[in-house]
């Protein structure tokens, strides 16, 4: 994977998932010795040579090499805090992941935690299938490292492993070794090759931690297509991402604060983004209710207008039904949307113009819809003639 591309496309959008609050930088103490990631090459790959680099809020840019329990005790490691392990994926050229520094910095801005970056550049370079063969060995190495942390008083439920691409399945392997009792695993674009048909013991799955989530951004190329967690997010359908080269896959930063009881299994969540930073959009439910059902499908295009920005979605109402709905994504808050346009799509008639007219009710609400109080409906029924666009003012209160 060419270094430095996907994080430029997705980094700004991913930061919005973290609810970042600035904490300020604290200069490193003179005694601190910083260690960076290793660099390998195609001739020196396949051997693991794992490094565990600890980053703390006191100096988020300085990785402290941790090898023995005594090393951990002599660093700023705090056993009472959450511990996050970051595992990168396949590194074709044997280079340090160019996104890792910003990623760690964002995590430490979002929460006071121990962040441990797992450097396995040597074992992840060269041929992809050689890196796959190292997954189990790396999982054992990380498990041994975790046992040292647990001996210092770290609780299993406070461990959060974040794995990118092939690293997501390494995270699943570690979780499997701990019988699913680790707190949380986040898989960022879990790798697809060699894992789509793998057994649950070989890949990331919902049994590997108390809560497992995955964010899919490249299912049509290198990412896995199947659900692998309690909740799976499919960004823009999980395939090519707007604003990014179609041949590059991304991982995104964690979504925090998910509290669902009891935990679901293999829930798919779909969301949309824009093609430019910061990529985040607002989502609205749009609905249309026909006064009378029709003997054919009814297609209506809904367009929101506001501040010189337009967003559209097509609603399809199945034949003999009266209700259709969709989700429209737009960069502006809903209270900045001042107009809605509705267009009833004409039937394909070569010999004459379609003059069909439908009457119905249009409503919208910002997502998530917790109750009907936030639902806004046009005050009068809407008359739509085929192929003609009707505009209405729309007033939505900001929440």
Given phi > 0 = left and psi -120 to 50 = alpha, else beta, which region is 90?
beta
Query: What is Dmax (Cα atoms) for the chain?
Result: 84
d(CA 210, CA 263): 9
3-class state of residue 168 by DSSP: helix
CATH number belonging to domain 282-393: 2.60.60.20
pLDDT of residue 20: 31
Lowest-pLDDT choice from 121-130, 149-158, 186-195, 365-374: 365-374
The domain spans of the chain are 6-271, 282-393
What is the mean pLDDT of the segment spanning 271-296? 82
CATH number belonging to domain 6-271: 3.40.50.1820
pLDDT of residue 334: 75
Give 195-241 pLDDT, tens digit per residue: 989 999 999 999 999 999 999 988 878 899 999 999 999 988 877 77
**Strand ranges (DSSP E) for the chain?**
51-56, 59-65, 82-87, 113-119, 159-164, 184-188, 211-216, 231-235, 267-271, 282-290, 298-306, 309-317, 323-330, 339-344, 357-366, 376-377, 382-385, 389-393
Helices 100-110 and 6-15: crossing angle, nearest 10°?
0
pLDDT of residue 398: 67
Is residue 91 within 8 Å of residue 130, measured between CB atoms? no
What is the mean pLDDT of the segment spanning 289-303? 92
pLDDT band for 15, please (50, 70, 90 cuts).
very low
Is residue 61 within 8 Å of residue 120, measured between CB atoms? no
Of 358, 364, 266, 363, the C-alpha closest to 321 is 358
Lowest-pLDDT choice from 38-47, 280-289, 331-340: 38-47
d(CA 372, CA 153): 47
Q: Answer whether residue 23 shows pLDDT above 50.
A: no
Helices 166-177 and 135-151: crossing angle, nearest 10°?
50
Q: Answer whether residue 166 shows pLDDT above 60.
A: yes
Q: Could you tell me where the DSSP H helices lie in the chain?
A: 6-15, 69-73, 100-110, 121-124, 128-133, 135-151, 166-177
**Residue-wise burial string across 62-85, b where 16 or more C-beta atoms lie within 10 A, e elsewhere:** bbbebeeeeebeebbbbbebbbbb
**DSSP codes, 358-378:** EEEEEEEEESS--SGGG-EE-
pLDDT of residue 310: 84
Give 146-155 pLDDT, tens digit per residue: 999 999 999 9
Residues in the chain: 399
3-class state of residue 225 by DSSP: coil
What is the mean pLDDT of the segment spanning 112-135? 92
Lowest-pLDDT choice from 30-34, 102-106, 145-149: 30-34
Is residue 184 within 8 Å of residue 263, measured between CB atoms? no
Of 190, 166, 243, 168, the C-alpha closest to 5 is 243
pLDDT band for 265, please (50, 70, 90 cuts).
low
Percent of the chain with pLDDT over 90: 50
**Residue-wise burial string across 234-264, b where 16 or more C-beta atoms lie within 10 A, e elsewhere:** bbbebbbbeebeeebbbbbbbbeeeeeeeee
pLDDT of residue 45: 52
Is residue 216 within 8 Å of residue 185, measured between CB atoms? no
d(CA 190, CA 162): 11
Please give the residue that has the higher pLDDT: either 41 or 355. Answer: 355
pLDDT band for 367, please (50, 70, 90 cuts).
confident
pLDDT of residue 268: 64
pLDDT of residue 252: 27
Percent of the chain with pLDDT over 70: 79
């Amino acid at each position: 994977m060419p270094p430095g591309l996907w994080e430029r496309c997705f980094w700004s959008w991913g930061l919005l998932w973290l609810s970042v609050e600035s904490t300020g930088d604290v200069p490193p103490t003179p005694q601190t010795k910083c260690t960076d990631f290793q660099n390998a090459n195609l001739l020196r790959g396949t051997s693991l040579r794992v490094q565990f680099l600890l980053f703390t809020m006191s100096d988020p840019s300085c990785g402290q090499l941790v090898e023995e329990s005594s090393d951990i005790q002599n660093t700023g490691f705090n056993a009472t805090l959450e511990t996050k392990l970051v595992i990168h994926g396949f590194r074709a050229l044997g280079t340090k992941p160019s996104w890792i520094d910003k990623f760690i910095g964002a995590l430490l801005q979002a929460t006071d935690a121990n962040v441990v970056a797992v450097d396995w550049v040597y074992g992840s370079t060269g041929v992809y299938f050689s890196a796959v063969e190292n997954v189990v060995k790396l999982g054992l190495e990380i498990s041994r490292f975790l046992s040292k942390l647990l001996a210092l008083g770290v609780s299993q439920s406070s461990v959060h492993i974040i794995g990118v691409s092939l690293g997501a399945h390494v995270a699943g392997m570690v979780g499997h070794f701990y019988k699913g009792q680790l707190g949380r695993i986040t898989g960022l674009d879990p790798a697809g090759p060699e894992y789509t048909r793998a057994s649950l013991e070989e890949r990331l799955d919902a049994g590997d931690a108390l809560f497992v989530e995955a964010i899919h951004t490249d299912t049509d190329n290198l990412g896995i297509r199947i659900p692998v967690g309690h909740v799976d997010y499919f960004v823009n359908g999980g395939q090519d991402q707007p604003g990014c080269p179609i041949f590059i896959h991304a991982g995104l930063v964690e979504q925090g604060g998910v509290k669902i009881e009891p935990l679901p299994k293999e829930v798919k969540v779909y969301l949309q983004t824009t093609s430019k930073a910061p990529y985040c959009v607002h989502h609205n439910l749009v609905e249309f209710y026909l006064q009378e059902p029709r003997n054919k499908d009814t297609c209506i295009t809904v367009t929101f207008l506001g501040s010189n920005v337009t967003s559209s979605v097509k609603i399809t109402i199945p034949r003999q039904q009266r209700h259709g709905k969709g989700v429209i994504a737009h960069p502006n808050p809903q209270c900045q949307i001042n107009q809605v346009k509705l267009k009833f799509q004409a039937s394909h008639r070569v010999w004459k113009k379609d003059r069909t007219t439908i009457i119905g009710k249009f409503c919208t609400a910002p997502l998530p819809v917790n109750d009907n109080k936030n639902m806004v409906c046009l005050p009068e029924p809407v008359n739509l003639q085929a192929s003609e666009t009707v505009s209405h003012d729309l007033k939505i209160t900001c929440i």
